Structure 1
Amino acid sequence: MIVPDHLGPNLAASGASGTWDWDIAADTLRVDARFAELYGIDPRDAAGILPTDLFFKAVHPADRARVRIAVAGILAGAELFSKEFRVVAPGGATFWMHARGQGHLDENDQPGRFTGLLVDVTERKRTEERLRVAQSAGGIGTFEYMDGYATATVSAEFCRLLGLHPASVLPIQTINSILLDADARLIPGLGESIDPDGLDAEFRIVRPDDGRQRWIARRGEVFPEGSGFRMVGVIYDVSSSKQQEAELRELNNTLESRVEQEVATRRRAEEALRQAQKMEAIGQLTGGIAHDFNNLLMAIMSSLNLLQKRIAPDPGTARLIDNALQGARRGAALTQRMLAFARRQDLTTERVHLFDLVYGMRELVERTLGPSWSLALSIPSSLPAVMGDANQLEMALLNLAVNARDAMPEGGAVTIAAVCRTVNDAEPGDLIAGPYIGLSVADTGEGMDAETLARATEPFFTTKGVGKGTGLGLSMIHGLAKQLGGGFVLESQPRQGTTATLWLPVADVAAESSVVPAMPAMEPTTGRSGTPGDVRRSLKIVAVDDDGLILMNTSAMLEDLGHRVLEAYSGQGALAILEREADVDLLITDQAMPQMTGTQLADIASETRPALPIILASGYAELPDGAQSRIVRLGKPFDQMMLERAIEQAMG
């Protein structure tokens, strides 16, 4: 038997009698074999499509109307269905069923399907009836009342059940005074009429002898007596059955609550998965765009640098070239932010003490904020070091401080704090188990609503208006945190400010090999013809890049530095040159190339020439494990000075 997912394991395990799947649009019903047997349908047709009228035909006539009303609610768009009703089997036997189901909307948000299952609760119903009979046996009080009298004749058990002093005759007012409902009447008062159809009733009383509240049931009949009537009846205590009914209701409510929680949890998980897939797709797209844009900027910047050196001195022309270079550098900064979001930026990882880092840039942050914004720091000096890139962390912290300032245009308070906490395996979220430092920047500004908060770390999303931001600041910080093995969390409420927390792994347990160290900075020296650096001798260099424009500009910069360049457009072409030319001094290769990557080329070249210096030029951060020790990294886009520094480092 197939049990619909939304009904949950608890209900399914209690003994389901049949399942249904109602196609509302087609007005057809698909059921399983047990459902068909219960409803008197040929089992061979159980897997077939059945007219929906059969669903109601087997319902007991006394229950059919309320079942139709409940089903009508599903047809009107209600989500959950839960009813108990009797079913008359083909042989005439009557069974009690608990039906649980759920309505499903189609693509037009109209009721499309109605699925569910039946649970046989006949034995429970019979048990409840037996309990009621057992509870009333030996505890039945009798009474007789004549119309027009102010008293009633009662039995001793009647008095005991109500907690009244034993008597054979009691005033009607005394009997009715113990009812909690002031408008209720256990026995009609003098001159009051009585409804013969409303004799079976239940009352809540307060016993005068012990003050306990009890439930009393009344059953009786009315007989004509002259011009009036005579009422004869019995009462018995039904408090236990009422308590059981309350417990059953509580159990049913708990079950429904669990089902709702499971559905809500599943929806949240599905939404989180969709968001993760969305951000991953955006990250891959952003990284690819940044890589290609890096190549374009590489060609522009290198060409402008060479042009700047070769044209005749002219202030107007020099200013135009400088403007172009500044624009290219701004583009390079933009690609670095895009690569940061895609977790592909070049990082230098080291032990960083946040106390020293934050207090070291306090003056810079205060100048950036301005006089209308106060700055408070709460960084314990005892915090352990984290594993990170100090320069990138400073940029991230300054970026968050600027965002906090912009969220408070009239001024306010900015607080930079840090705490240490340990994440365990049972905690939700993206952080793996271990110790972390949370570096947070909080403001007292406008805050964000839920919709804005959900999109805040998306690339190019900004609330600052056109021309006032790239929308990459928070996405860059998010990517930086992920690349360092941590996480980034934004908390915000409208008119209650925002807190941005960068979670960083403690250095002692961080995986230092997870990021790639950048090339150390070197002070420029004066070289030939005013060019930066001093290579000291001309080198024979193999330059490899699958992009002809990049290869041409790289060769031009190398030749301008006085080197002899052999060009190759692929790894195979470079290997052919190395096999042919025995006196090659240096190999400079791109990383992302078809058929053979730069690191693969380096591995093959090192097998035959283990002493050959190699420079790997790439806009991405990732390198295979072990490659850092024998390869000099040159990030794209690079200019002639950066190229010469990499050559000096590679040549030792």
Structure 2
Amino acid sequence: MPETGPSAGSDHVRKLLAAAGASGTWDWNISQNRLRIDAPFAELYGLDETQADTPLPTATFFKAVHPDDRARIRIAVAGMVAGAEHFSKEFRVVTADGTVLWVHGRGETHFDQDDQPESFTGLLIDVTERKRTEERLRVAQSAGGVGTFEYSDGFATVAVSSEFCRLLGLHPANILPVRTINAVLTSADAGMLIPEAPHGAQMETLDGTFCVIRNDDGERRWITRRGEILHDGDGGYRLIGVIYDVTAAKAQEAALRDLNETLETRIETALAERQLIEDALRQAQKMEAVGNLTGGIAHDFNNLLTIIIGNIDTVLRRSGTDRDPREQRSLGNALKGAERAAALTQRLLAFSRRQPLAPKTIDIARLLTGMSDLLTRSIAETIAIRVVAAPDLWAVEADPNQLENVILNLAVNARDAMPDGGPLTIEAKNEVIGADAFAGVPDGAYVVVSVSDDGMGMAPETVAQVFDPFFTTKEVGKGTGLGLSMVYGFAKQSGGHVHIRSALGAGTTVSLFLPRQQGAAESPDEPDAVAAERGRPSETVLVVEDDEDVRAYTVGVLRELGYHVMEAVDGITALQVLGRDDQPISLLLTDVVMPSMSGTELADAARSLRPELKVLFMSGYPRDTISPDGRIQAGVDLLSKPFTFASLSQKLRQVMDHAEG
């Protein structure tokens, strides 16, 4: 039987095959089940060149095929031997030195006159470099997130890359049905791969962006397609292009669009916030201005009031019932006026957060219960007072006396807002404040004390000014305008906040926010047992006061009380007295604000000389000395100016007896 197929000895054929990139040829005689190969085939398979053109067992064809590809190629070759006409497969072969090459085997079956398969011939083409290029391209596409495709007009399938499949969430494949690709689109347009009207120039670009829902995880993504349409002469075309994910860019575009659309609103919000900040700054500046004014005059003013109140009190005590009633009444009125002036100064100090506070951990429920009689006496009978304290109230740290004054002040304001009577509610509850729940109140845990009325209420422009010093809605002569200012100052000085809610005809609620304090509340102070307010013969008091009139009044009261008294005009003189060993001194009574040496500096120096010395400070303005933050330091005893005979005698006695105990 004559052999068919390429002749291994034909130089002309071999040159043609080499030019085509062939790596070898084969001729498989099906009826004889023998294989004939050429020299390049033998070299590729690691066979001796002498075996070329020599009939070999057909198993030789599979010897160098890579184990992972061998089963696939056996099946394909079996089909050819059984009568299939065409063979076209890419597979790997392992050379004699272990190198792995990619080859493309192409062959066909030849039939005899009875149409039976007679021989199977073909050639191997080395495609290793192309495969490496494809792999590099695949890696580049995967790294860059770029998928490629090629679609021919009229076909129902499209050639795609693995990255194309990944971007759409499809199972990896080389060929995909067009309908499978279009199924992931969210819009019912012409599709991702088929242009609506491929006409015009022989080459045109085709760009577009599509929203897809990935087939694997259902995630919504934005995909951009860019391609070129290549027209042929018969009116058909091919579309070659790429796709890539632009979801992040779309999100940025949406954010920018939203930013632009809301720019005006955000500007308005920013301006409003700035206005609030500026309002708060102006309020702080007003407070600071009043505070500086108050601090500047409080010391001297309280010294004057000490002289006035003290001497009037002295005259009233000594006159007894022998004085003319008109003189007695005049002195009484003068004393009341001086006391009102002292209260006014105290309110100024409270507003400017410069009043001396003696904070304690207190139980507000107990404090409100203790105020019931005071509230009943201070409020008209037409007012129905209701006090509500939530169970398990947290403890707070505040000056209990000043807190009582604040609550009483708010209750009196509520009473004045209801001239025809009505309900007045004082409520205390625990509250955890979240972000921006109340303007100016930071997040945190608070005990909120609220005083509410059903009175006339206030307009928004009035509410905006109620905490300003000397602002009042009452008639001339009916108020100083420092009540709510004092409440504001106390709240801030106590580390808390105050908030007001009011509307015309709908009443007013003022809420005091005091920070929660860990720990148990202290028991309320009981009045110290004072056996006698008078001094004892063995007790000597050193009075240090730079104001001559205040010093004279103070020394006179102490001597009247029976104390042995020494006096000094300033700290330097006092230290000279304290440095003498021949003079026992029981207590140092010193002003705080003095030239050259402050009272606190004097006390420190005095205790270094006499460690057991008792000290009582007296001041009308102790700011930046014994209470730099407005809170009297632990272990410090203070007698606030102006003081009277009774307050001086009792405070002095308490310090003496407490120190001894």
Shorter-chain TM-score above 0.5: yes
Separation in 1 of the partners of 2:615 and 2:447?
A: 38
Q: What is the SS of the residue equivalent to 1:335?
A: helix
* 2:557 alignment partner in structure 1: 557
CA RMSD of aligned residues (A): 3.9
Q: What is the SS of the residue equivalent to 1:588?
A: strand
* 1:577 alignment partner in structure 2: 577
Q: CA deviation at 1:590?
A: 0.5
* 2:513 alignment partner in structure 1: 503
Q: How does 1:613-624 map to 2 (within 5 A)?
A: 613-620=614-621, 623=626
Q: CA deviation at 1:261?
A: 2.7
Over 3 Å counting, the alpha-carbon distance change for 1:265 and 1:610 in structure 2 is same
* 2:449 alignment partner in structure 1: 439
Matched, 1:296 2:304: yes
Letter in 2 for 1:262: A
Over 3 Å counting, the alpha-carbon distance change for 1:425 and 1:295 in structure 2 is farther
Q: How does 1:447-486 map to 2 (within 5 A)?
A: 447-486=457-496
Over 3 Å counting, the alpha-carbon distance change for 1:581 and 1:650 in structure 2 is farther
Q: CA deviation at 1:139?
A: 6.9
How many percent identity over aligned positions? 44
Q: How does 1:484-495 map to 2 (within 5 A)?
A: 484-495=494-505
* 1:566 alignment partner in structure 2: 566
* 2:595 alignment partner in structure 1: 594
Separation in 2 of the partners of 1:478 and 1:398?
A: 14
Q: CA deviation at 1:429?
A: 5.8
Separation in 1 of the partners of 2:640 and 2:525?
A: 9
Comparing 517-526 and 390-399, the one that deviates more: 517-526
Q: How does 1:177-576 map to 2 (within 5 A)?
A: 251-310=259-318, 313-316=322-325, 317-362=327-372, 364-366=374-376, 368-423=378-433, 434-508=444-518, 521-522=527-528, 533-537=533-537, 539-576=539-576
* 2:222 alignment partner in structure 1: none
Q: CA deviation at 1:271?
A: 2.7
Maintained 8 Å contact 2:433/2:446: yes
Matched, 1:644 2:654: no
Larger radius of gyration: 2
* 1:604 alignment partner in structure 2: 605
Separation in 2 of the partners of 1:649 and 1:378?
A: 36
Letter in 2 for 1:643: L
Q: CA deviation at 1:439?
A: 0.5
* 1:6 alignment partner in structure 2: none
Maintained 8 Å contact 1:519/1:632: no
Query: Structure 1, unaligned stretches of length 5 or more?
Result: 1-133, 141-243, 527-532
* 1:42 alignment partner in structure 2: none
Instruction: Give TM-score, length-normalised by structure 2.
Output: 0.55
Q: What is the SS of the residue equivalent to 2:501?
A: strand
Separation in 1 of the partners of 2:449 and 2:259?
A: 46
Letter in 1 for 2:644: D
Letter in 2 for 1:461: F
Q: CA deviation at 1:288?
A: 3.5
Q: How does 1:83-122 map to 2 (within 5 A)?
A: none
Maintained 8 Å contact 1:355/1:379: yes
Maintained 8 Å contact 1:348/1:518: no
Separation in 2 of the partners of 1:505 and 1:248?
A: 42
Task: Describe the superposition over 1:400-423 as per-residue Cα deviations: whole angstroms up to 9, x where unpaired.
Answer: 122112222233332222221234
Separation in 2 of the partners of 1:360 and 1:495?
A: 32
Task: Describe the superposition over 1:65-122 as per-residue Cα deviations: whole angstroms up to 9, x where unpaired.
Answer: xxxxxxxxxxxxxxxxxxxxxxxxxxxxxxxxxxxxxxxxxxxxxxxxxxxxxxxxxx
Over 3 Å counting, the alpha-carbon distance change for 1:249 and 1:643 in structure 2 is closer
Maintained 8 Å contact 1:614/1:630: no
Letter in 2 for 1:566: M
Task: Describe the superposition over 1:311-333 as per-residue Cα deviations: whole angstroms up to 9, x where unpaired.
Answer: 58323343433332232223222
Q: CA deviation at 1:431?
A: 5.2
Separation in 2 of the partners of 1:612 and 1:542?
A: 11
Q: What is the SS of the residue equivalent to 1:600?
A: helix
Letter in 2 for 1:339: L
Over 3 Å counting, the alpha-carbon distance change for 1:519 and 1:597 in structure 2 is farther
Separation in 1 of the partners of 2:483 and 2:573?
A: 41
Over 3 Å counting, the alpha-carbon distance change for 1:632 and 1:369 in structure 2 is closer
Q: What is the SS of the residue equivalent to 2:349?
A: helix
Maintained 8 Å contact 1:541/1:584: no
Maintained 8 Å contact 1:420/1:436: yes
Query: Structure 2, unaligned stretches of length 5 or more?
Result: 1-191, 199-251
Separation in 1 of the partners of 2:413 and 2:293?
A: 26
Maintained 8 Å contact 1:436/1:503: yes
Separation in 2 of the partners of 1:520 and 1:551?
A: 31
Separation in 2 of the partners of 1:518 and 1:327?
A: 32
Maintained 8 Å contact 1:540/1:563: yes
Separation in 2 of the partners of 1:455 and 1:564?
A: 53
